[in-house]
Amino acid sequence: MDDLLRGFLTETNESLDVVDVELVKFEQEPNNATILDNIFRLVHTIKGTCEFLGLPRLEALAYAAETLMGKFRDGAPVTQAAVSLILSSIDRIKGILAELEEAEGEELAGSDEGLIKQLEDMSEHAFDSVKTADAAVAELAAAEKPAAQADAGGDAECSRCSGN
């Protein structure tokens, strides 16, 4: 194994330890942009280095996790399920790194498609609860509008009647 890959493994494992701690904090403070930015930056760095080193399996997994975290940065609500899924991704990345180290730098074949698909699905639907809430507010406003118009019409009729 060359020194570049050995350095990557050491640095990435250290970064993932930080990500674990930060994710626990983030779970407790889901609106803390500083924590989210730190997690995002670390995973983004891992993804970019995987691309540079030609580690497509790790890169794909890091990319999918990064995409979901990007949705949070864009304002999607942070859910317990999403944080758990990201934690699962980090655990899988750690496992692949351990395999990489044991295999002397060769990325072993394996499929992470199920986990990547879950991350992609959650990313795709990250704003659904916000859209549903917005639709519910719009529906409520629309339902109240005719009632308000009816009240206004009733008041106008009453003022005409009282004027006679």
CATH number of the domain encompassing residue 55: 1.20.120.160
pLDDT for 140: 59
67 and 88, same structural domain?
A: yes
111 and 50, same structural domain?
A: yes
Neighbour-count burial of 94, counting CB atoms closer than 10 A to its CB (0-12 exposed, 13-18 middle, 19+ buried): middle
51 and 89, same structural domain?
A: yes
140 and 75, same structural domain?
A: no
86 and 70, same structural domain?
A: yes
95 and 74, same structural domain?
A: yes
Helix H segments across the chain?
A: 3-28, 33-53, 56-73, 80-102, 113-124, 128-162
pLDDT at residue 163 greater than cutoff 70? no
Residues 106-153: tens digit of each pLDDT: 787 888 999 999 999 999 888 876 655 455 455 656 666 655 555 555
pLDDT at residue 156 greater than cutoff 60? no
In the block, tokens 């609500």 appear at: 77
112 and 132, same structural domain?
A: no
Helix (H, G, I), strand (E, B) or coil at 54: coil
100 and 137, same structural domain?
A: no
d(C-alpha 36, C-alpha 60), whole Å: 20
pLDDT for 139: 60
What would the two tokens of residue 102 be? 């044991």
pTM: 0.74
Q: How confident is the model at residue 91 (pLDDT cuts 50, 70, 90)?
A: very high
Residues 10-57: tens digit of each pLDDT: 999 999 999 989 988 988 888 899 999 999 999 999 999 999 999 999
163 and 91, same structural domain?
A: no
67 and 146, same structural domain?
A: no
d(C-alpha 118, C-alpha 85), whole Å: 8
Expressed as residue numbers, the domain containing 87 is 3-126
pLDDT for 1: 66
134 and 73, same structural domain?
A: no
119 and 73, same structural domain?
A: yes
Contact 92, 61 (CB under 8 A): yes
